[in-house]
Amino acid sequence: GQLTPEQMHNLAMIVFSGRRLTNLVNDTLDFSKLKHQELDLDLKAVDIHSMAEGVLPLSQPLIGQKSLQLINQLEPDLPAVKADENRVQQIMYNLVGNAIKFTEEGTVTISATVESDMLPVTVSDTGIGIPADKSNIIFQSFEQVDTSATRDYGGTGLGLSITKQLVELHGGTIRVESIVDKGS
SS3 of 45, please? strand
pTM, rounded to two decimals? 0.77
- Alpha-carbon distance 33 to 16, whole Å? 26
- Summarize pLDDT for 148-163 with one digit per residue, the tens: 554 455 555 677 888 8
Q: What is the pLDDT of residue 151?
A: 41
Contact yes or no for 168/160 (Cβ under 8 A): no
Per-residue pLDDT, averaged over 30-41, amounts to 68
At residue 181, the pLDDT reads 94
Q: Contact at 8 Å (CB) between 103 and 182?
A: no
Q: How confident is the model at residue 127, as a pLDDT?
A: 96
Report the relative pairing of strands 121-125 and 81-84 from DSSP bridges.
unpaired
For residues 65-83, one letter each, b for 16 or more C-beta atoms within 10 angstroms of the residue's C-beta and e for the rest, the string is eeebebebebeeebeebeb
